[in-house]
Structure 1
């Protein structure tokens, strides 16, 4: 066995150290990623690769920041942001919310099967792009936390993508290389039965075990948890009209309650005191078709927003000791007339409301120092209100969905995903074009794009691309393959298949799918020839190994897409992905040996 080149040793050592630091989580992922890039840049500048210049090392180290994979991920994040801020996914989210209310486990299973089936015929990246915002929205509405659903969804989509030759771009690459080496071309469903059989074992783990291994990573919420008092107005179009209270109880969201009830059926023009969190009030307005602020001011805000192309904001504002509002009611404050903003509710943190007090129960609430107002309006008007009336705006404001552009955002996403899915355009071009259209049509504001992107994901992708290229160009990948071939001659066929699959899996999780396919396919072909084994099962072992990218976030672009939304750490991938990799390697190796009677 030859000693590997010095650059190959350095590449393998750097990979191990970076992986260790990621898993330990003592240093942030961003810092570790930047340190890795810096070490590659400095090391290759002073000790260049053979037949290369020092500047070639700099290009290798920093190429990840301009790599098409990073551009694709950022573009997909922007398009996902467009779906969220326009409310385009609300119908799908409401349907899934109803399923989750029936049974959380049933809802998750339905989602996993949907992701699996769709990924068999459509590239799994656009499938996951469509599902991520839906399940992030569901998490905000009280369904399973995003951190417990997104990783299982990603694993299920990767599993489905493994089942056909068109499921992932890596499958196409492996099959193409195998054909170039002299093997007959495989049909779309050539190896689907093997993957379906393995899925019967893997899906129960993904469905029942993986969510239990993941923590609830939902950030602590300071906004939307206060209970606000307001009046629910019953317009002519409300679902309440003509119904008795008992008929609408089941329609009410959690954390929402009527503080006073009508003696008879609800009727147009009634104003009933209600309370609830911000989310609960929003849901109640949607479900009951009511209003929690005067209709004229809400309409005025929305008309002005549409005319100016601005976003409507909902923010929390605290009344300070210097405010003129102290001692006034909303009716006498003139807030709507003076500033053109709508107060949606009042939170009383200092003293509880005394609902047995007739004045508070049936009259208007008087404002006091420390009260928190839930206010809707445009940014200039909100700022004027805050400065003039001495109220302090709290962090955590949110945008009201621009529903007028919902269909436009959904159409842009579906067209982009559709063109990528049928192979009309590469996913990089389709997603970039979709992101540009999101900007041009106003679905996503350019100055808000930072909210869609994750700095952690960006530097991690750039570092992973640099490490992957270093592993390949330094000769580390080739040396590992030769070493593997020398050690397989005494193993049984199942052991050979498992070893090849594990080798490719390691390359996939630490370099890239393309690297694993490019390096692993010729090696598997040579091993089959050398050991007198059928070539097809070893080529499939490479193909399956390239898809077992569950153990690290840098293994595949969809792993990166869920990282920011699920607030995952590197060790979350290791904790849940390594058992799944082992399950799949053992199961697929057994099925390959059985199918091909090796």
Structure 2
């Protein structure tokens, strides 16, 4: 006879359900729900402490998530991801995927899913996803697949790949080690890979085709992205254009760039090519083609001052007002570079918009007029001085240029951290913290810009989920669920018992933690196998598989939380896409276990 759960266990289950319902309804922000959950646990345990504990122990449990190694690891990983973005280290990979996505969007996504899956089989899936997130953010900025439609499918592929080997996730290692302690023979790296490959093959069409259609587009169309700027790209000695015809490089031109009146024959240094494009496209063209959109001496001076002052170079847009001294002047006669140390790399006339026929001035430089929008490059303080002195209206959306001189260094730091964590040389928490410290020390990420790399909603959500997982375990709720499950399996067939164990572990892993599900479930599965006279291995594998099916909530796994901010996801996005995927994987994995072990 199974006794009722303790009052603390009942309260833990009620808090879990309430948190899930609040997230699913979406009426309150993630931060508010997470902080309320922590507050309820803290107040409840203070007045009604767990057995053999003091009221202050409950406070420590409720707030333990803020100092937990998992939260520190996630923050460190986000900082390293920020370092890759601000240095432009991933731009080559992003350009390669961009060319693939331009050929065919579905083909590009399928290739990305397969690469993610197979990498996660041999490298821990968390570093793999950390490496891929900034790439897909860059693709979204280039106007291709929105990050919101790509990151949940990519995350699902990394989780499926990590499931396929004993070293793919820390959960797999934990289950296998507990099973060995219980007397089972040790499993090799690819022991259950065929079963997972079969299930993943069944689930892949859903992840590839259906899942992106279930997710919204989080891209925000801004006004400045629709403006067309005119500039003249100067061919330099180191430019890719030097000694070539423009037609040879058409495939490498950024989206939204168009050249006009290109001189015939090979291009040489000092050639000036009339070019139009959006704000982002002009920046990308300068970087990709290694050309200058302003006189080289001006740009060199800006870069030199940036290095001396350790200040990032920025690009912003400014409108010429009716009081500006620039009205009626040309760029050469304005003296902007000499007076303020900034460079004008593009000019937009109000009538020139994307999709409309461009209107160019005849001959050389045109004269500034009221309403013109200037694309200005320089140090932020110099740009503000320029705007104030010449009566310009500075628009929002100033962007800092990537510090490409540190791109190789940032990539090396990230690669080293991933290698150390993947091969088990140090825990991932230590590898990520060391990587984040190196990002700071080397200047890849600046201390005053750390906040841009972190997400407050993710931080409090992680802290709340850690506290919730602890109360589920410490209150006895997890043990009671396991006991109920064990009693109910007496009446099921072996195949149904496998599916039930997997579903129970899936529930635990999505609302508590992978470690909780693995720690509680593995001994229970072993005991159930003995009681039912079944081989223990398929039931233990059911626990291992279920503990990894963490698709349905953002709190289920650290990579789910990592993508939450970048994809602008809500709780319901995980539920809507994750629940069907869980059902597909449970069905396919159960079938694979039944066939493999002849149950």
> Normalising by the residue count of structure 1, what TM-score does the alignment of the two structures yield?
0.96
Q: How far is the alpha carbon of 1:81 from its aligned partner?
A: 0.6
Change (3 A) 1:466 1:184: same
Change (3 A) 1:195 1:264: closer
Q: 1:468 corresponds to which residue?
A: 469
Any idea what the Cα deviations from partners look like across 1:389-439, whole Å, max 9, x if unmatched? 222222211111111111111111111110001101000010001001100
SS at match of 2:31: helix
Instruction: Give the count of matched residue pairs.
Output: 596
Change (3 A) 1:184 1:288: closer
Inter-partner Cα distance in structure 2 for 1:313 and 1:289? 18
Q: How far is the alpha carbon of 1:361 from its aligned partner?
A: 2.4
Q: Which runs of 5+ in 2 are unaligned?
A: none
Matched, 1:92 2:81: no
Q: 1:378 corresponds to which residue?
A: 379
Q: 2:343 corresponds to which residue?
A: 342
Any idea what the Cα deviations from partners look like across 1:365-389, whole Å, max 9, x if unmatched? 2222332211111122112112222
SS at match of 2:367: coil
Q: 2:519 corresponds to which residue?
A: 518
Q: How far is the alpha carbon of 1:48 from its aligned partner?
A: 1.1
Matched, 1:479 2:464: no
Any idea what the Cα deviations from partners look like across 1:27-77, whole Å, max 9, x if unmatched? 111111111111111111111111111111111111111110000000000
SS at match of 2:504: helix
Q: How far is the alpha carbon of 1:247 from its aligned partner?
A: 5.2
Inter-partner Cα distance in structure 2 for 1:251 and 1:37? 51
CA contact (8 A) 1:350 1:370 kept: no
Q: 1:427 corresponds to which residue?
A: 428
Inter-partner Cα distance in structure 1 for 2:358 and 2:474? 74
Q: 2:178 corresponds to which residue?
A: 177
Inter-partner Cα distance in structure 2 for 1:93 and 1:416? 21
Inter-partner Cα distance in structure 1 for 2:228 and 2:88? 24
Q: 2:62 corresponds to which residue?
A: 61
Say which is worse superposed, 555-564 or 177-186, in terms of deviation. 177-186
CA contact (8 A) 1:64 1:461 kept: yes
Inter-partner Cα distance in structure 1 for 2:100 and 2:597? 42
Which residues of 2 match residues 168-567 of structure 1 at below 5 A? 168-241=169-242, 249-262=250-263, 266-349=267-350, 360-567=361-568
Any idea what the Cα deviations from partners look like across 1:203-245, whole Å, max 9, x if unmatched? 2221121111111112333443321122222334444456556
Change (3 A) 1:389 1:415: same
Change (3 A) 1:435 1:103: same
Q: 1:80 corresponds to which residue?
A: 81
Change (3 A) 1:499 1:97: same
Change (3 A) 1:213 1:351: closer
Say which is worse superposed, 136-145 or 123-132, in terms of deviation. 136-145
Change (3 A) 1:233 1:424: same
Inter-partner Cα distance in structure 1 for 2:526 and 2:389? 76
CA contact (8 A) 1:222 1:396 kept: no
Inter-partner Cα distance in structure 2 for 1:107 and 1:356? 36
CA contact (8 A) 1:350 1:371 kept: no
SS at match of 1:529: helix
Q: How far is the alpha carbon of 1:172 from its aligned partner?
A: 0.7
